[in-house]
Chains A and B, each alone.
Chain A
Amino acid sequence: MPPEVESAVETMTAVNNEFFYWMSIALMILIHAGFLAYESGASRSKNVLATAIKNLLAFAVVVASFYFVGWFLYNAMPSGWFAMSDAAVAALPWSDNMGPNIEDPASGIFWGAFALFAATTGSIMSGAVLERIRTSAFLILATVLGSVVWIIGAAWGWHPSGWMLTQLGLHDVGAAGCVHLIAGTFTLGVLLNLGPRLGKYAPDGTVRDIRPHNLPMTMLGLMLIFVGFFGFLMGCVIYTGEGFETIYGSPTTLSAFAFNTLMGLAGGIIGAYLTSRGEPFWTISGGLAGVISVASGMDLYHPALGFLIALAGGALVPMIGMLLDRFKIDDVVGAVAVHGGAGAFSLIMAGIFLGGYPNTDGNPSISLWGQLVALVVFAALGFVPGYGLSWILKKAQSLRTPPAVEAAGLDLSEVPATPYPEGTPVTVMRNGHVEELKV
């Protein structure tokens, strides 16, 4: 190839690479638009703006803190602990690569894609803790989850040199473990300390239905999340100029991801519809659970198998949600069930159906045992800091809003604006419920 042609091809590859991840970032921002609509709709009318502000601030603090520390952790910890490799030094915020650099068209765009993964992970917790967590406590927890905890999991299990790949042969191309499972178990730890919303459970343990104030907005939010997931999954593959690779270096195609993402969506919606008996909130959440259920192995599943796995995963999450209610764990949007439950399910399914598939570069083959060990590590990596940090905040009386503020609504106390100035809709409660809220 003549030198000038070779140079032109290299330039085009770099430009394509940047544009590919640029689009991934833009699409992933739709996940946050979706979370905002989803959670605002899921909250009662007295908490709408506080919920939306919480989502905006979560995006801001996680992106900034991910620049400060997150990208460095990803590049420094694949072996399990800190190692100041060349990649780690290049990821320090004051290095030559962590700012405009004409010779480096990769660092910023990869950092950006990972920053959006981080913001997504931090925001997964957001919906579960609605209507009673202090915004400040949530932002601290989101920062730790989005810029420290999950990215350590990603360094271990979602990195070409991560020890979970090199030691266990882990296969989790769509980040079901390091993003969804970690976020789900972190959230579970927080919910145990946070407690349920006032009036959610009667003294005898009966579950009271606290309805979303705008279910159509919630459903629209989830549709936006579905769109954003295509950006998320774009970021899960490596563009090489000659095609695509998974994060583990094995060859793949966007076609593979298209097959199983769409079949996963379809299967999850159908599965959740069946077990929730058509309940709209769980039905559409099932779509998300379906995609997560096939995420670990979506580069390799036959689409029909992907559909079956997603259908089972979607069917599972309403039942996990009901199980949490029995333990009086008030997860407003089902984040623990959808992300934690489907994330764990995804890792197991990849172990069952992909066991024996080879990995590249001499890494161990995929195995059920490797998937299960990774599952336990991811779950603990999320739960322990989530529970521990929220316990500290609780002891410092900084985790939860005062009962009087919660009863009146967070918008009225914290937000200098009103969501529905013409007064509709209002939060309607039965008389008995109101009596319990009097504090």
Chain B
Amino acid sequence: MSPIETYDGASVVFTFGGFSVGVWVCFVLAVALFVGFLARVVQHENRAYAAMAAHEPVEAGPPVEAEPAT
């Protein structure tokens, strides 16, 4: 993954180097995960709202002091 063999005269030192397949693959994966994260937030909200409607909220309320959290 190193684009260099020595630091003498080196400029680009990041993994794979610029304009490389490795960088493009990482970039596409990063964007896909970003979009996937937003989709996951939507999913979490939908579940949370349904649970709320069913009177089973995500947060059941604070435990009594010193009581172990469930």
Residues of A within 8 A of B61 (CB): 418
With contacts A101-B14, A418-B62 taken as known, whether A413 is within 8 angstroms of B34 at the C-beta atoms is: no
Indicate if the CB atoms of B59 and A68 lie closer than 8 Å: no
**With A and B bound together, what is the CA distance between A23 and B63 in angstroms?**
42
Indicate if the CB atoms of A102 and B10 lie closer than 8 Å: yes
Which A residues lie at the B interface, using CB under 8 A?
57, 61, 64-65, 68, 93-104, 134-136, 139-140, 398, 401-402, 404-405, 408, 411-418, 420-423
- Highest count of chain A CB atoms <10 Å: which of B7, B61, B62: B62
Indicate if the CB atoms of B49 and A94 lie closer than 8 Å: no
Residues of B within 8 A of A94 (CB): 18-20, 23-24, 27
Smallest beta-carbon distance A402→chain B, Å: 5
Smallest beta-carbon distance B60→chain A, Å: 9
Given contacts A136-B41, A405-B48, A416-B59, 9 further A-B contacts (CB under 8 A): A64-B30, A94-B19, A95-B18, A96-B18, A134-B45, A139-B38, A412-B52, A416-B58, A423-B62
Interface of chain A, main secondary structure:
loop
With contacts A136-B38, A136-B42 taken as known, whether A96 is within 8 angstroms of B11 at the C-beta atoms is: yes
With contacts A101-B11, A135-B45, A413-B49 taken as known, whether A93 is within 8 angstroms of B27 at the C-beta atoms is: yes
Smallest beta-carbon distance A139→chain B, Å: 6
Indicate if the CB atoms of A68 and B31 lie closer than 8 Å: yes
Residues of A within 8 A of B34 (CB): 61, 64-65, 68
- Pick the contact of A99: B14, B30, B51 (CB < 8 A): B14
Count: A-B pairs, CB below 8 Å: 100
- Pick the contact of B11: A104, A136, A404, A405 (CB < 8 A): A104
Smallest beta-carbon distance B8→chain A, Å: 11
Smallest beta-carbon distance B56→chain A, Å: 10
Indicate if the CB atoms of A418 and B59 lie closer than 8 Å: yes
Smallest beta-carbon distance A96→chain B, Å: 4
Can you list 26 residue pairs at the A/B interface with Cβ under 8 Å?
A61-B37, A65-B34, A68-B27, A93-B23, A94-B19, A94-B23, A96-B12, A97-B18, A134-B45, A135-B45, A136-B41, A136-B45, A139-B38, A398-B42, A402-B52, A402-B53, A408-B57, A411-B59, A412-B57, A413-B51, A413-B59, A416-B59, A417-B59, A418-B59, A421-B65, A422-B65
**With A and B bound together, what is the CA distance between A312 and B59 in angstroms?**
46
Indicate if the CB atoms of B41 and A402 lie closer than 8 Å: no
Residues of B within 8 A of A140 (CB): 38
Residues of A within 8 A of B24 (CB): 94
Smallest beta-carbon distance A417→chain B, Å: 7
**With A and B bound together, what is the CA distance between A229 and B53 in angstroms?**
43
**With A and B bound together, what is the CA distance between A65 and B33 in angstroms?**
11
Residues of A within 8 A of B11 (CB): 96, 101-104
A-B CB proximity, top 9 nearest: A99-B14, A96-B18, A421-B62, A103-B11, A413-B52, A136-B41, A100-B14, A136-B42, A94-B23
